[in-house]
Amino acid sequence: MNPPAATLRLHASAAAWCGRGILVRGASGAGKSALVAGLLAAGAYLVADDLVRLDRRGGTLYAGPIAETGLIELRHNGIFRIATMIEVPVSLCVELAAEIAGERLPASATVTIGGVEVPRLRLAGTAAAAVAQILITVVARRAH
């Protein structure tokens, strides 16, 4: 028998690229929406901006919007309507931070969210290479 589904609500953003969900977490003003905008420019679809609903079903975490879908805020420029997906399985959690401390090649690159272990990518801000790093991480297998 499967455990009951669990639902979480997070202050985060989410995008879908090639059917894989990318959850972006960070403090207010860290650049979550800006990073998702970069992913959208690379061909991703918006799932949710600012507030994300996460549903655990079995061993999979699904991201979806809490409120109206297809809206993204571009700081100091307003709110825009864009192509969206209603729900996507989360394949990667991106954590934005002002700076990243710790090992250069950590032994573990996962985070547990709602009881589900998800691959994690930690980024300092929204550097120009961030979108490329995310897209490589979501489709490639970690070697070390």
pLDDT of residue 57: 92
Average pLDDT over residues 21-42: 89
Strands 6-17 and 78-81: unpaired
Please choose, from the candidates 10, 140, 17, 8, the residue with its C-alpha nearest in 3D space to the C-alpha of residue 88. Answer: 17
Counting every residue written for the chain, the total comes to 144
43-92 pLDDT, tens per residue?
899 999 889 999 999 899 999 999 877 888 777 788 888 878 889 999 99
pLDDT of residue 22: 95
- What domains appear along the chain, each with residue ranges and CATH number? 6-139 (3.40.50.300)
Classify burial at 15, counting beta carbons within 10 Å of its beta carbon; exposed 0-12, middle 13-18, buried 19 or more: buried
Tell me which of 3 and 35 has the higher pLDDT: 35
81 membership: H or E segment, kind and range: strand 78-81
Chain centroid, CA 35 distance in Å? 10
Q: Which of 23-27, 34-38, 74-78, 83-87 has the highest mean pLDDT?
A: 23-27
Please choose, from the candidates 110, 119, 116, the residue with its C-alpha nearest in 3D space to the C-alpha of residue 92. Answer: 119
Which residues have a Cβ under 8 Å from the Cβ of 120 and sit 6 or more positions away? 92, 93, 94, 95, 109, 110, 111
pLDDT band with cut points at 50, 70 and 90 for residue 101: low
Average pLDDT over residues 82-105: 80
pLDDT of residue 130: 81
